[in-house]
Structure 1
Amino acid sequence: MVSPAIALAFIPFVVTLLIRYRHYFCLFYRAVLVRRVRDYLTGIPKEERAFQYVLTHTIPGDPQHILETFDHWSYHCEYLSNLGPQKAKILERLIYEKAPLRVLELGTYCGYATILIAQLLPLGARLYTVEMDERKAAVAEKVIRLAGFDDDTVELIRGPSQEVIPQLKEKYGLSHVDFIFMGHWKRCYLRDLQLLEAHDLLLEGATIVADNIIFPGAPHFMQYVKACGKYKWRIHRTSLQYFRAIPDGMAQLTWTGLQ
């Protein structure tokens, strides 16, 4: 057994860890522990609980009000890994600058980034958004339609991204994409970027934005981007959505067309 003296000696170390990483402990508490308890008590997933809140507190057909309602829920009720207001400003500025006509989103989640992008698109543009989780896709579908966007503006594709990307040309009539937003599993970023290259879906000047590039991070993706010589890139440093004390960032890539 550990003697009391040794145990006491570890107390300052433990306290230091708790103070230094308190924001990460708070994230774990809100994102994992609270979710599991409420999932058990309610019998429905947190994304559906969030939608019920949005449905009763938002103005249908008002995308901005829906985003603000999601933000309120995530700050004050339960944590959702939506894009959040700080990162939304970065994505909003890029959409304005690029004015893309064909946008691909990988990882719809609850539809937060989807309706942010959709409301900024120029006339005649279309957004294709891919979600592999059926329950999350069902929530996103309701959120997108609640915001007032139909299939002509936003097409929600259900399925794993590695299966959907090779089908984009033949099945969905998408010959190329001008703008890609990645917000799905970080371990899939590199694989899906290479799939987009392999299937010749990127035109010269196409923009790729990848979220959570610092936390939890996508190191292999960034190593490839920096070493392959096919992209111009920069990092927009920000913080984790709804946790300003946790550093994060978004990668902005521009496809040069060099093979």
Structure 2
Amino acid sequence: MSHSNFLHYVLSNSVTGDIQSVINAIDKFSKTNGMMHVGEVKGEILEKQVKNQRPKTVLELGTYYGYSALRIASHLPKDALFITVEISKEAAKIAYEILKQAGISDRVHIVVGSTESVIPQIKDYHSISSFDFIFIDHSKDVYLRDLKLLERHNLIASGTMIVADNVIFPGAPDYLEYIRNNPKYSSKIYDVVLEFPARVPDGVEVSVRN
């Protein structure tokens, strides 16, 4: 899949300033082009959690092209603080254009860099004590590392909701073992079936800090 083709398609098939229109365009594009994002089914699960939590401070680890950021932002108040971290400069540029098309580029702060380097610096740049909602959807082998990093820097507090994608496929077994056996968290998994690359079982883990 060409990055430019994706961007051109979304910009040409969505209404400027309309978040749902942009989401719909990405969903339509994804039906014929495998996309590495949360997708429609899990996107609805994500939105449900955001609506239930009603967060004012949000952190996303793994922006990619901004699809999940659109889903999250569509249910946030305009004064919410939303930070999303993306290691790829190219992906971050496309995400910015997507968010701009949706009319929310001023409400979502894209930080380019590794989560390992960004997380310890968050409090230096933002007036924040902790996050109400955290969405994890980047490299599966660092889910646990980054969760512990967030804990170490006191960015997780009582009531913080953490939603982790792809915990079954490709899988984050060490993350699941840690969070499910930690008395500080209450967790629930939402079982889903991936359409791409094939119909394989996956899951979204939703955890709340007690």
> Pick from 176, 183, 205: which aligns with 2:130?
176
Please tell me the residue identity of whatever aligns with 1:236.
Answer: Y
The Cα shift of 1:244 comes to 7.3
Partner of 1:49: 5
Corresponding position: 1:253 with 2:191: no
Partner of 1:209, secondary structure, is strand
Give the Cα separation in 1 of the matches to 2:110 and 2:151: 22
Partner of 1:75: 31
Give the Cα separation in 2 of the matches to 1:48 and 1:221: 34
Partner of 1:185: 139
Corresponding position: 1:141 with 2:96: yes
Please tell me the residue identity of whatever aligns with 1:136.
Answer: A
Corresponding position: 1:65 with 2:21: yes
- Is the contact made by 2:19 and 2:74 (CA closer than 8 Å) also made in structure 1? yes
Please tell me the residue identity of whatever aligns with 1:131.
Answer: E
Please tell me the residue identity of whatever aligns with 1:182.
Answer: I
- Structure ID, larger Rg: 1
Please tell me the residue identity of whatever aligns with 1:129.
Answer: T
Deviations 1:180-200 (A, max 9, x none): 001111111000000010000
CA RMSD across the alignment: 1.4
The Cα shift of 1:171 comes to 2.0
Higher share in helix: 1
What residue ranges of structure 1 are gaps of 5+ in the alignment? Answer: 1-34, 36-45
**Segments ≥4 residues shifted beyond 3 Å:** 241-244
Please tell me the residue identity of whatever aligns with 1:147.
Answer: A
Q: Which moved more, 1:226-235 or 1:105-114?
A: 226-235
Corresponding position: 1:96 with 2:51: yes
Corresponding position: 1:166 with 2:120: yes
**CA pair 219-187 structure 1, distance change in 2 beyond 3 A:** same
Partner of 1:169, secondary structure, is helix
Identity of aligned residues (%): 38
**CA pair 242-72 structure 1, distance change in 2 beyond 3 A:** farther
- Is the contact made by 1:225 and 1:231 (CA closer than 8 Å) also made in structure 2? yes
Please tell me the residue identity of whatever aligns with 1:87.
Answer: K
Partner of 1:237, secondary structure, is strand
The Cα shift of 1:150 comes to 3.4
Give the Cα separation in 2 of the matches to 1:161 and 1:48: 26
Deviations 1:48-77 (A, max 9, x none): 32111111111111111111111111112x
Deviations 1:148-192 (A, max 9, x none): 0133x2111111001110001012333210000011111110000
Give the Cα separation in 1 of the matches to 2:125 and 2:49: 28
Partner of 1:174, secondary structure, is coil
What residue ranges of structure 2 are gaps of 5+ in the alignment? Answer: none
Q: Which has the higher contact order (CA 8 A, sep 6+)?
A: 2
Give the Cα separation in 1 of the matches to 2:127 and 2:164: 24
Partner of 1:65, secondary structure, is helix
Aligned residue pairs total: 210
- Is the contact made by 1:84 and 1:242 (CA closer than 8 Å) also made in structure 2? no
- Is the contact made by 2:47 and 2:75 (CA closer than 8 Å) also made in structure 1? yes
Give the Cα separation in 2 of the matches to 1:67 and 1:244: 22
Give the Cα separation in 2 of the matches to 1:144 and 1:242: 24
- Is the contact made by 1:235 and 1:251 (CA closer than 8 Å) also made in structure 2? yes
Partner of 1:43: none
Deviations 1:7-54 (A, max 9, x none): xxxxxxxxxxxxxxxxxxxxxxxxxxxx4xxxxxxxxxx333211111
The Cα shift of 1:123 comes to 4.1
**CA pair 82-168 structure 1, distance change in 2 beyond 3 A:** same
